Amino acid sequence: MEHLVDVADRFAVGELGSEELTMVAADALARGLDCAALVELACLHRADSGGAPDLFRIALAQLGLDDRADVSWEQRRVEVIVRRTEASARRVLVGDGDPYEHCAVIGEYLHQLAHIADAPMPELSALATDFEVLRVDWEDGYGDPAEHGLALKQSCERLLGRRA
């Protein structure tokens, strides 16, 4: 069932299209999950999947995976991006993964959050710019890589500390 929550997150951020939700539903049914909305969703044709997002949200609720019917896909998108951004920042602080890649990902996520239509977070624009400048300097070989790593950690601490 966690797979469906992951699919919902991926759909919210645009990594999956609504036409793919019909096959996700069919796969979930084949795995033994069952609810009315899931069956209805699986019966939709990929070319006629306009109602798929609403049916998918209903299916998640019927399966007990998401009881927040009032949360729009756009709100979920914001939640997913915030969660992914913070997870990447925490990984930087513990030395897990490629710091440059984390820098690029965090900068992109912050830029998205700063300009989201329904709930823009302009306060993140400056932080997004900091990550972008750091990424460009790193990529172009300006400065000492060790200094870039330190600056990245400091920026991640600022990012995570802003919610404390």
Q: Answer whether residue 67 is part of any domain.
A: no
**What whole-number distance in Å separates Cα of residue 116 and Cα of residue 91?**
25
Which amino acid, 119?
Answer: A
Residues 78 and 39 in one domain: no
Place of tokens 């070989």: 141
Residues 86 and 58 in one domain: no
Residues 57 and 85 in one domain: no
Q: Answer whether residue 68 is part of any domain.
A: no
Residue 82: give the domain boundaries: 73-161
User: Could you give the number of structural domains in the chain?
Assistant: 2
* Tokens read off for 77: 């998108």
Dihedral sign for Cα 12, 16, 21, 23, please: negative
Which amino acid, 82?
Answer: V
Residues 50 and 79 in one domain: no
**What whole-number distance in Å separates Cα of residue 93 and Cα of residue 159?**
11
Instruction: Say which residues have a Cβ less than 8 Å from residue 117's Cβ, sequence separation at least 6.
Output: 74
Residues 105 and 29 in one domain: no
Residue 119 falls in which region: left (phi positive, over 0), alpha (psi -120 to 50) or beta: beta
Specify the pLDDT at position 164: 44
Residues 53 and 92 in one domain: no
* Tokens read off for 61: 């609720």
Specify the pLDDT at position 155: 93
Residues 37 and 83 in one domain: no
Residues 79 and 49 in one domain: no
Residues 95 and 35 in one domain: no
Specify the pLDDT at position 163: 56
Distances 115 to 64, 109, 122 between C-alpha atoms, Å: 32, 10, 7
Q: Answer whether residue 26 is part of any domain.
A: yes
Q: Answer whether residue 38 is part of any domain.
A: yes
Q: Is the pTM of this model over 0.95?
A: no
- pLDDT means per 10 residues in the chain (164 residues)? 90 94 96 95 90 93 84 89 95 94 93 75 82 90 88 93 65
State which of 33, 62, 91 marks the end of a domain: 62
Residues 47 and 79 in one domain: no
Q: Answer whether residue 36 is part of any domain.
A: yes
Residues 79 and 102 in one domain: yes
Residue 39 falls in which region: left (phi positive, over 0), alpha (psi -120 to 50) or beta: alpha
Tell me the backbone φ, ψ of residue 13, rounded to 5 degrees: -95, 5
Residues 52 and 78 in one domain: no
State which of 10, 30, 62 marks the end of a domain: 62
